[in-house]
Amino acid sequence: MMIRKILLTSLLCLASFNVFAAGDYDAGKIKAYTCTGCHGIVDYKNTYPTYKVPRIGGQNKEYLVIALQGFKSGEREHKTMNLQAEALTEQDIEDIAVYLEAQTNNPEAE
């Protein structure tokens, strides 16, 4: 009986994780709004230091998740991105990645 309860609990945990990690396009659209401030502007360059901001629309979801997790943990260093990512939950990251993957490189296109 105890083994059955443990197995059932494990299955429920796994099932809820898969639903949780799926990502929601509509939620991602709202959460990714801040991202477009830099990543959605064609040929955007910072004034100091001078560098181009990478385009993230249409980028692979898995890459976006790994990158945001890296910024959140501090493994990837970029002051602005570290600050932006530290406030994100794992669900936020999944939602944003699902939304951004579906975008084209045209900031006006959806």
pLDDT at 53 > cutoff 90: no
How sure is the predictor about 23, in pLDDT bands with cuts at 50, 70 and 90? very high
- Reported pTM: 0.73
Tell me how crowded residue 61 is: count the other CB atoms within 10 A of its CB. Answer: 16
* DSSP result, the chain: -HHHHHHHHHHHHHHHHHHHTT--HHHHHHHGGGGHHHHTSTT-B-SSS--BPPP-TT--HHHHHHHHHHHHHTSS--HHHHHHHHT--HHHHHHHHHHHHT--S-TT--
How sure is the predictor about 13, in pLDDT bands with cuts at 50, 70 and 90? low
Lowest mean pLDDT of 3-12, 33-42, 66-75, 97-106, name the range. Answer: 3-12
Distance of CA 71 to the CA centre of its chain: 10
Opening angle at CA 100, ends 23 and 108, nearest 5: 140
Q: What is the mean pLDDT of residues 22-37?
A: 95
Q: What percent of the chain has pLDDT over 70?
A: 75
Q: Which domains does the chain have, with CATH numbers?
A: 23-101 (1.10.760.10)
Q: Which residue has the higher pLDDT, 2 or 99?
A: 99
Opening angle at CA 16, ends 90 and 100, nearest 5: 40
Mean pLDDT of the chain: 83
pLDDT at 60: 96
